[in-house]
């Protein structure tokens, strides 16, 4: 009986590790750590979606996210959303998104984000999609965007 109980405890511990890792995924390239790339689910017929993540730079040099490519949308652009004189403005970032040395940049709702334009299909919670991030110094890396529910936000401790 003790052996079965131990085996069950081990099974649940391993299961918990896999579930936790599948919810929050990260990638490393050079001095950059990319935390949980995700897309917010879209309603049927939506033609755009936002992509988000946190990029941590552990190095001594600033890097730049210059390009994002995906197959699930016709266009992927790096955008900034900000309020100026009580008017919300969104614009494409020119020259790349800065990832400061020994700091991080977070792509989040109402801030920096990747704008996926002309989606080929709706983004449904639970699905995943590949993308490639191109950095000026670190190079390129393939990531998986997880589709999350409306209102999802990365935890503050990431």
Q: Which residue has the higher pLDDT, 21 or 1?
A: 1
- What class has domain 26-148? mainly beta
Model pLDDT for residues 37-88, shown as the tens digit of each residue: 999 999 999 999 999 999 999 999 999 999 999 999 999 999 998 877 888 8
Query: Which structure tokens are listed for 32?
Result: 């950059």
Q: So what's the pLDDT on residue 78?
A: 97
Q: Give dist(CA 137, CA 32) in Å, integer.
A: 10
Cβ atoms of 55 and 98 within 8 Å: the answer is no
pLDDT value of position 158: 45
Tell me the whole-structure pTM to 2 decimals.
0.80
| DSSP code per residue over the chain | -HHHHHHHHHHHHHHHHHHHHHHS-EEEETTEEEEEEEEE---TT--EEEEEEEEEE-SSS-EEEEEEEESSEEEEEEEEEEEETTEEEEEE-SS-EEE-TTEEEEE-TTSEEEEEEEESS---TT-EEEEEEEETTTEEEEEEEEEE-TT----TT-
Which is more confidently placed, 138 or 151? 138
Give pLDDT tens digits for 99-118: 999 999 999 988 999 999 99
């Amino acid at each position: 009986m003790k052996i079965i109980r131990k085996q069950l405890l081990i099974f649940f511990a391993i299961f918990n590790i896999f579930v936790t890792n599948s919810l929050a995924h990260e990638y490393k390239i050079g001095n950059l750590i990319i935390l949980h790339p995700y897309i917010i689910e879209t309603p049927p017929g939506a033609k755009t979606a936002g992509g988000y993540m946190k990029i941590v730079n552990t190095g001594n040099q600033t890097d730049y996210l210059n390009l994002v490519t995906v197959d699930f949308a016709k266009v992927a652009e790096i955008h900034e959303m900000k309020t100026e004189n009580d008017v919300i403005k969104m614009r494409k970032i020119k020259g790349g998104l800065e990832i400061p040395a020994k700091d991080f940049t977070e792509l989040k709702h109402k801030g920096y984000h990747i704008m996926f334009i002309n989606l080929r299909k709706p983004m449904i919670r639970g699905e995943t999609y590949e993308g490639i991030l191109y950095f000026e110094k670190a190079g390129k890396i393939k990531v998986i965007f997880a589709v999350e529910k409306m209102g999802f936000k990365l935890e503050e401790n990431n």
